[in-house]
Structure 1
Amino acid sequence: MAINNQKLKLLYLVKIFTEDTDDQHALTLPQIVDKLHAYGVNAERKTLYQDFELLRDFGVDIIGVQMQRSYYYHIGNRDFELPELKLLVDSVQSAKFITDKKSNALIRKLEGMVSKYEARQLQRQVIISGRVKAMNESIYFNVDKLHEAIGTGSQIKFKYFQWNLKKEMELRKGGAWYQVSPWGLMWDDENYYLVGYDAEDEKIKHYRVDKMLRISLVNKKREGKEQFKAFNMPRYTKSLFGMYGGEEIQVTLEAENGMVGVLIDRFGKDMPVKKVDETHFRTIVNVAVSNQFLGWIMALGKGVRIIGPDSVVRRMKEEIQQISRMYEDG
């Protein structure tokens, strides 16, 4: 390669230090000269000392350490330390909403923030039992478009799909457009949701972002400001949102003491706890009483039961009877 990249000398030095050095791997001046030469850059010892000082003044943490008769140089502090990047890689790999393809692309970018030696340590395989990764690659563009709409106070329209028995995308509402006023993005059960106001139904609704298609901004100011003034996002997530919608009411639960952690994980530490006897307690929670909520209570077995109101107790009994009939012989 011809010596024709002198103007890029400092940039190539940063590249060399970033990719080829870390706390355990350093380079001597002759090695640095050879690597620069491979990029078409001529370098001398005297000018390299000056270059190192310029880079230090700019904020690049170049460290020189004498070992025997030679000086070894490596980069010190980086924007992200290796343990921090390991956490990010684990998060990317385990996140349900990130597709396998995008996970690999993001991890490759993270590897570029450390040396080639440390990058090998980022090639980790996080074991997530039963994890199903998202299949809709457009979620990243969806999130960006939704942030744009929220930031500009615009309404949006989109198509919404569900999976059919052929494992194909099937548009809901016969392919009709949904039009809502977006007010926020929420993260629940490892999925992104849009929370918005549906003017036609005059209510706040939520939508899975990875099931939204062809999102576009509508030249119309968003609505629902008054409704969202009284809207409690954390409470919505904790009590109503996690149970898939429905009218929110107060439900009294009686549970074994050992189940308190399960209920706190679902409803938060503000949940009241009143002792019943030495082994049981009662609490009152705000929930949307849906089949999903009833199923969640059933899954807890004998550890938790609904005490009131009577309408919810009756509904639970009816649901149990219906399920029981499904499994009767004949």
Structure 2
Amino acid sequence: MPKSANQKLRLLFEREILLRETDEENPISTKQLISRLEDCGVQAERKTIYSDIEALSLYGMDIIKVSGKNGGYYVGERDFELPELKLLVDAVQTSKFITKKKSAELIGKIERLTSKYQAQVLHRQVYVSARIKNMNESIYYNVDKIYQGIDENKQIEFFYMEYNLDKKRVPRRNGKRYKISPYALTWNDDNYYLIGYDGQSDTIKHYRVDKMENIVVLKENREGETNIDIGEYSKKVFSMFGGSEESVTLNFDNRFIGVVIDRFGTDIPVIKTDSEHFETSVTVKISPQFFGWLASLGRGVKIISPISVKDRYKEHIQSILE
């Protein structure tokens, strides 16, 4: 049999065909595989296919042979199983942080991680969400710049944007650039945040990555805290709003134990005060968002101490009533 120009690519074509066109419910026969190779400009015989399947298996592909009338070959174990890909698709399409355009691109790439038949299942799972999606496409470049600063141990500068009443993005602080030592990126309430050290105020601060523009990596080395525990930091901060840090003792109805553990984790102390209530002490950033979380639990939570936080909560509620 004369060799075609693409003959050297035969194994690569076979690998691609098996990955994209087979799964447990859709094996491909030797005859079909030969036909598909011909579509790619490659000639092959049955003997060649058997040898190539063996070579691909030795290479590490999990190729399953099915005997019988409707038998053939299919790829068994893959890097991602279908339920895992469904989770990834869900995460992408429901994320406010990822733009509509980038969501479609990422889901398309996720679909290519499985067979075309299972990709159809993933595609049927995708729906047009009415939720607000971010409109800042430059966010991906922002992430790269931030990681560059972290990797190179350098400070960064940027404009921090906000919307005016004309719905236009304008820089805060009258266009004065922010200068921060970047230390970590974290995900909170559907947004991506930079956590870093502000040398001017000597405090740890956080910034929404989609609101950052024109990031420049500086030559100056980073300053401040180098070992920020992101998990612990996130527990203290409500909706990524900062404030003074306090150790607060709270009394809850027993029915809220799940809510409290979801928020603060299982390491917190839980003290039963009577048959219907428990107390715990947590360290939090005191902010309107923290008070809003307390208010959402209604009469099921009380601030025991400190008195100063108790008074601030009363003032917060009173100011809303006014």
TM-score by length of 1: 0.89
Contact 1:22 1:75 in 2 (8 A): yes
Offset of residue 208 of structure 1: 1.0
Tell me what 1:328 maps to.
none
Which moved further from structure 2: 14-23 or 129-138?
A: 129-138
Which moved further from structure 2: 191-200 or 91-100?
A: 91-100
Which among 312, 317, 320 is matched to residue 320 of structure 1?
A: 317
Tell me what 2:79 maps to.
79
Secondary structure of 2:237's counterpart equals helix
- Cα distance per residue 1:162-210 (max 9 Å; x no partner): 2233332121111221111111112222222111111111111111112
Alignment of 1:98-247 (within 5 A): 98-125=98-125, 131-224=131-224, 227-229=225-227, 231-240=228-237, 242=239, 244-247=241-244
Offset of residue 130 of structure 1: 7.1
Which moved further from structure 2: 295-304 or 58-67?
A: 58-67
Contact 1:36 1:42 in 2 (8 A): yes
Which among 249, 269, 278 is matched to residue 281 of structure 1?
A: 278
Q: Flag the 1:311–1:130 CA change in 2: closer, same or farther, 3 A.
A: farther
- Cα distance per residue 1:108-165 (max 9 Å; x no partner): 1111121111111111446799743322222222222212211111111111112233
Secondary structure of 2:133's counterpart equals coil
Offset of residue 252 of structure 1: 2.2
Q: Flag the 1:57–1:281 CA change in 2: closer, same or farther, 3 A.
A: closer
Report the AA paired with residue 121 of structure 1.
V
Which moved further from structure 2: 113-122 or 132-141?
A: 132-141
Tell me what 1:302 maps to.
299
Separation in structure 1 between the aligned mates of residue 278 and residue 9 of structure 2, nearest angstrom: 70
Secondary structure of 1:210's counterpart equals helix
Report the AA paired with residue 230 of structure 2.
M
Tell me what 1:8 maps to.
9
Q: Flag the 1:279–1:63 CA change in 2: closer, same or farther, 3 A.
A: closer
Aligned length: 320
Secondary structure of 2:214's counterpart equals strand
4+ residue stretches of structure 1 with deviation over 4 A?
126-130
Contact 1:3 1:37 in 2 (8 A): no
Report the AA paired with residue 151 of structure 1.
D
Report the AA paired with residue 25 of structure 1.
N
Q: Flag the 1:272–1:242 CA change in 2: closer, same or farther, 3 A.
A: farther
- The yes-or-no answer on 1:252 pairing with 2:253 is no
Structure 2: gaps (5+ residues) = none
Q: Flag the 1:28–1:108 CA change in 2: closer, same or farther, 3 A.
A: same
Alignment of 1:25-104 (within 5 A): 25-68=26-69, 72-104=72-104
Q: Flag the 1:90–1:240 CA change in 2: closer, same or farther, 3 A.
A: closer
Report the AA paired with residue 279 of structure 1.
E
Q: Flag the 1:13–1:315 CA change in 2: closer, same or farther, 3 A.
A: same
TM-score by length of 2: 0.91
Contact 2:238 2:289 in 1 (8 A): no
Secondary structure of 1:67's counterpart equals coil
Superposed CA RMSD: 2.3
Offset of residue 280 of structure 1: 2.1
